[in-house]
Amino acid sequence: MQRFFSSLFQLDIFTRSLDSLNSHQTCQHCACSNSWVSHGFIYRQSGLKVGKRILCANRYGKSGCGRTLALYLADFIPNRRYSFVSAQ
């Protein structure tokens, strides 16, 4: 599954269309492919959106494991405070 996206728009489109991706987007923990649900944005401390979470749902008749997966924008590195852009 793609983990990094070039824009927030592409990331949002991908997470909104998860219900139609039953065949090839499986969870790495439980191998379930029909339980993905968009779970909200990931923010930096400054309030900047840097990614989105998806949930392998185990509620409402879905058979997932309940774990979340973080998807990020390509400009940001997970768990890092600063990007690679440097002043010269």
Question: What is the tens place of the pLDDT at every residue in 32-84?
Answer: 777 888 888 999 888 889 999 988 888 878 888 888 888 988 887 766 655 55
Integer Cα distance of 22 and 20 in angstroms: 6
Nearest to 36 by CA among 57, 20, 17, 50: 57
Model confidence, pTM: 0.74
Question: What is the tens place of the pLDDT at every residue in 4-31?
Answer: 888 989 988 888 777 655 546 788 888 8
| Structure confidence at residue 85 (pLDDT) | 59
| Structure confidence at residue 23 (pLDDT) | 46
Identify whether the C-beta of residue 40 lies closer than 8 Å to the C-beta of residue 26: no
For residue 87, is pLDDT > 80? no
